[in-house]
Amino acid sequence: MSEKRVILSLDITDEPSALRLAEQLEGEIFAIKIGLASIIVNGGKYIRDMSSYAKVICDFKSADIPKTNAQIAQKALEYNAWGIIVQAFTGKDAIKASVDVSDRLKVFSLVSMTHEGASYFIDKHVEEMAKISIEAGVYGIVAPGNRPETLAKVRKLVGEKKIISPGIGVQGGDPITAIKNGSDYVIIGRTIYESKDPLGTVKEINRAISAVIR
Protein backbone atom coordinates (compact mmCIF):
# COMPACT_ATOMS: atom_id res chain seq x y z
CA MET A 1 0.00 0.00 0.00
CA SER A 2 1.46 3.36 -1.02
CA GLU A 3 1.62 6.30 1.35
CA LYS A 4 -1.56 8.33 1.47
CA ARG A 5 -1.45 11.82 0.00
CA VAL A 6 -4.60 13.42 1.39
CA ILE A 7 -4.58 15.72 4.40
CA LEU A 8 -8.07 16.19 5.80
CA SER A 9 -8.79 19.84 6.61
CA LEU A 10 -11.14 19.50 9.52
CA ASP A 11 -12.67 22.94 9.90
CA ILE A 12 -15.59 21.83 12.02
CA THR A 13 -15.51 22.69 15.70
CA ASP A 14 -17.90 20.04 17.03
CA GLU A 15 -15.53 17.49 18.51
CA PRO A 16 -17.82 14.42 18.49
CA SER A 17 -18.54 14.88 14.75
CA ALA A 18 -14.86 15.52 14.06
CA LEU A 19 -13.82 12.39 15.96
CA ARG A 20 -16.36 10.21 14.13
CA LEU A 21 -15.02 11.43 10.81
CA ALA A 22 -11.41 10.93 11.87
CA GLU A 23 -12.16 7.39 13.01
CA GLN A 24 -13.94 6.61 9.77
CA LEU A 25 -11.02 7.82 7.63
CA GLU A 26 -8.22 6.28 9.72
CA GLY A 27 -5.58 4.72 7.47
CA GLU A 28 -6.91 6.42 4.34
CA ILE A 29 -5.46 9.88 4.98
CA PHE A 30 -1.95 11.14 5.61
CA ALA A 31 -2.87 13.61 8.34
CA ILE A 32 -5.60 15.84 9.76
CA LYS A 33 -5.19 19.60 9.69
CA ILE A 34 -7.00 21.45 12.46
CA GLY A 35 -7.43 25.15 13.08
CA LEU A 36 -7.56 27.68 15.85
CA ALA A 37 -11.37 27.86 16.04
CA SER A 38 -11.50 24.18 17.05
CA ILE A 39 -8.92 24.85 19.76
CA ILE A 40 -10.88 27.79 21.14
CA VAL A 41 -13.97 25.59 21.41
CA ASN A 42 -12.29 22.39 22.60
CA GLY A 43 -8.89 23.30 24.02
CA GLY A 44 -5.64 21.48 23.30
CA LYS A 45 -7.14 18.10 24.13
CA TYR A 46 -8.73 18.29 20.67
CA ILE A 47 -5.23 17.82 19.23
CA ARG A 48 -4.55 14.81 21.45
CA ASP A 49 -7.94 13.23 20.75
CA MET A 50 -7.51 13.57 16.98
CA SER A 51 -3.99 12.18 17.15
CA SER A 52 -5.44 8.76 18.00
CA TYR A 53 -6.56 8.48 14.39
CA ALA A 54 -3.98 10.34 12.30
CA LYS A 55 -1.04 12.70 12.46
CA VAL A 56 -2.31 16.14 13.47
CA ILE A 57 -1.07 19.33 11.82
CA CYS A 58 -1.97 22.47 13.78
CA ASP A 59 -2.82 25.13 11.24
CA PHE A 60 -2.33 28.11 13.50
CA LYS A 61 -0.47 30.16 10.90
CA SER A 62 1.66 31.38 13.79
CA ALA A 63 2.82 34.90 13.03
CA ASP A 64 4.25 36.09 16.30
CA ILE A 65 7.62 37.11 17.71
CA PRO A 66 10.11 34.22 18.11
CA LYS A 67 9.52 33.69 21.84
CA THR A 68 5.74 33.43 21.39
CA ASN A 69 5.96 31.29 18.24
CA ALA A 70 8.14 28.89 20.24
CA GLN A 71 5.67 28.85 23.12
CA ILE A 72 2.78 28.02 20.75
CA ALA A 73 4.76 25.25 19.04
CA GLN A 74 5.81 23.81 22.40
CA LYS A 75 2.21 23.66 23.60
CA ALA A 76 1.04 22.07 20.33
CA LEU A 77 3.73 19.41 20.74
CA GLU A 78 2.74 18.76 24.36
CA TYR A 79 -0.75 17.95 23.11
CA ASN A 80 0.71 15.53 20.58
CA ALA A 81 0.68 17.57 17.39
CA TRP A 82 2.80 16.04 14.61
CA GLY A 83 3.18 19.29 12.69
CA ILE A 84 2.47 22.99 12.82
CA ILE A 85 1.98 25.65 10.14
CA VAL A 86 3.70 29.02 10.60
CA GLN A 87 3.69 32.18 8.50
CA ALA A 88 7.01 32.95 6.78
CA PHE A 89 6.41 36.70 6.55
CA THR A 90 7.31 37.29 10.19
CA GLY A 91 10.93 36.53 9.28
CA LYS A 92 13.60 33.91 9.69
CA ASP A 93 13.98 34.22 13.45
CA ALA A 94 10.25 33.69 13.97
CA ILE A 95 10.23 30.58 11.74
CA LYS A 96 13.39 29.20 13.31
CA ALA A 97 12.00 29.64 16.82
CA SER A 98 9.25 27.14 15.91
CA VAL A 99 11.72 24.76 14.22
CA ASP A 100 14.03 24.81 17.24
CA VAL A 101 11.33 23.62 19.63
CA SER A 102 11.86 19.94 18.82
CA ASP A 103 12.86 17.49 16.09
CA ARG A 104 9.59 15.75 16.88
CA LEU A 105 7.47 18.66 15.59
CA LYS A 106 7.41 19.17 11.82
CA VAL A 107 7.21 22.84 10.90
CA PHE A 108 5.55 23.85 7.63
CA SER A 109 6.12 27.38 6.47
CA LEU A 110 3.49 29.30 4.53
CA VAL A 111 4.99 31.15 1.54
CA SER A 112 1.88 31.77 -0.55
CA MET A 113 -1.85 31.93 0.08
CA THR A 114 -5.05 31.26 -1.84
CA HIS A 115 -7.15 34.36 -1.12
CA GLU A 116 -7.34 37.69 -2.94
CA GLY A 117 -5.62 39.60 -0.15
CA ALA A 118 -2.42 37.65 -0.78
CA SER A 119 -1.82 40.03 -3.68
CA TYR A 120 -1.13 42.95 -1.31
CA PHE A 121 2.14 41.73 0.17
CA ILE A 122 2.51 37.96 0.28
CA ASP A 123 2.67 37.40 -3.48
CA LYS A 124 5.51 39.91 -3.67
CA HIS A 125 7.80 37.93 -1.41
CA VAL A 126 7.23 34.27 -2.31
CA GLU A 127 10.83 33.61 -3.37
CA GLU A 128 12.41 35.32 -0.38
CA MET A 129 10.01 33.59 2.00
CA ALA A 130 10.85 30.20 0.48
CA LYS A 131 14.54 30.99 0.86
CA ILE A 132 14.41 31.97 4.53
CA SER A 133 12.13 29.01 5.28
CA ILE A 134 14.78 26.62 3.97
CA GLU A 135 17.48 28.50 5.88
CA ALA A 136 15.41 28.26 9.06
CA GLY A 137 15.29 24.48 8.62
CA VAL A 138 11.59 23.85 8.08
CA TYR A 139 10.35 20.33 7.33
CA GLY A 140 7.92 21.48 4.69
CA ILE A 141 6.22 24.29 2.84
CA VAL A 142 2.60 25.29 2.30
CA ALA A 143 1.84 26.36 -1.28
CA PRO A 144 -1.53 26.79 -3.03
CA GLY A 145 -3.05 23.83 -4.85
CA ASN A 146 -5.35 26.08 -6.85
CA ARG A 147 -2.52 28.19 -8.33
CA PRO A 148 -0.48 25.72 -10.42
CA GLU A 149 2.08 28.26 -11.63
CA THR A 150 2.87 29.52 -8.14
CA LEU A 151 3.00 25.95 -6.90
CA ALA A 152 5.41 24.88 -9.66
CA LYS A 153 7.59 27.91 -8.89
CA VAL A 154 7.68 27.06 -5.19
CA ARG A 155 8.56 23.44 -6.00
CA LYS A 156 11.63 24.62 -7.88
CA LEU A 157 12.61 26.92 -5.01
CA VAL A 158 12.41 24.38 -2.20
CA GLY A 159 14.09 21.30 -3.67
CA GLU A 160 13.13 18.12 -1.85
CA LYS A 161 11.14 19.76 0.97
CA LYS A 162 7.66 18.37 1.42
CA ILE A 163 4.94 20.59 -0.01
CA ILE A 164 1.39 20.51 1.33
CA SER A 165 -1.31 22.30 -0.65
CA PRO A 166 -4.66 23.80 0.31
CA GLY A 167 -7.18 25.23 -2.14
CA ILE A 168 -8.26 21.84 -3.47
CA GLY A 169 -11.89 20.97 -4.18
CA VAL A 170 -14.47 23.60 -3.29
CA GLN A 171 -11.72 26.28 -3.57
CA GLY A 172 -11.05 25.38 -7.18
CA GLY A 173 -7.91 23.25 -7.29
CA ASP A 174 -7.86 19.59 -8.17
CA PRO A 175 -5.59 17.05 -6.50
CA ILE A 176 -4.07 15.64 -9.69
CA THR A 177 -3.03 19.03 -11.06
CA ALA A 178 -1.57 19.92 -7.66
CA ILE A 179 0.44 16.69 -7.42
CA LYS A 180 1.69 17.13 -10.98
CA ASN A 181 2.83 20.67 -10.18
CA GLY A 182 4.80 19.71 -7.13
CA SER A 183 2.54 18.99 -4.15
CA ASP A 184 3.42 16.01 -2.00
CA TYR A 185 0.16 16.15 -0.06
CA VAL A 186 -3.16 17.77 -0.93
CA ILE A 187 -5.25 19.39 1.78
CA ILE A 188 -8.96 18.75 1.25
CA GLY A 189 -11.82 19.80 3.49
CA ARG A 190 -15.41 20.32 2.45
CA THR A 191 -15.21 17.97 -0.55
CA ILE A 192 -14.66 15.21 1.99
CA TYR A 193 -16.56 16.18 5.11
CA GLU A 194 -19.59 17.54 3.29
CA SER A 195 -19.75 14.41 1.14
CA LYS A 196 -22.50 11.87 1.78
CA ASP A 197 -19.80 9.21 1.76
CA PRO A 198 -16.55 10.71 3.10
CA LEU A 199 -14.70 7.39 3.09
CA GLY A 200 -15.70 6.62 -0.49
CA THR A 201 -14.69 10.13 -1.56
CA VAL A 202 -11.26 9.81 0.02
CA LYS A 203 -10.70 6.35 -1.47
CA GLU A 204 -11.60 7.67 -4.90
CA ILE A 205 -9.15 10.58 -4.55
CA ASN A 206 -6.47 8.14 -3.32
CA ARG A 207 -6.97 5.93 -6.38
CA ALA A 208 -6.78 8.90 -8.74
CA ILE A 209 -3.57 10.11 -7.10
CA SER A 210 -2.01 6.61 -7.10
CA ALA A 211 -2.55 6.45 -10.83
CA VAL A 212 -0.42 9.56 -11.44
CA ILE A 213 2.38 9.08 -8.89
CA ARG A 214 3.31 5.61 -10.06
What are the residues binding a copy of itself (CB under 8 A)? 11, 13, 35-37, 39-44, 47, 60-66, 68, 71-72, 74-76, 79, 87, 89-95, 113-122, 125, 128-129, 132
* Strand residues in the chain grouped as ranges (E): 6-10, 31-35, 55-62, 83-87, 106-110, 140-142, 162-165, 185-188
Closer residue to a copy of itself in complex, CB, 121/160: 121
- Closest separation in Å from C-beta 208 to a copy of itself: 25
Residue 90 CB neighbour total at 10 angstroms: 17
Closer residue to a copy of itself in complex, CB, 183/206: 183
Closer residue to a copy of itself in complex, CB, 4/92: 92
- Cα separation, 37 vs 78, in Å, equals 19
* Residue of 33, 45, 61, 203 with catalytic role: 61
Active site residue 61: yes
- Closest separation in Å from C-beta 2 to a copy of itself: 31
Burial pattern 58-71, b for ≥16 Cβ within 10 A else e, equals bbbebebebeebbb
DSSP state of 119: G
Closer residue to a copy of itself in complex, CB, 49/180: 49
- Closest separation in Å from C-beta 212 to a copy of itself: 27
- Closest separation in Å from C-beta 15 to a copy of itself: 11
**Closest by Cα among 136, 121, 180 to 155:** 180
- Cα separation, 205 vs 112, in Å, equals 24
β-strand 106-110 against 185-188: which pairing, if any? Answer: unpaired
Could you list the active site residues? 61
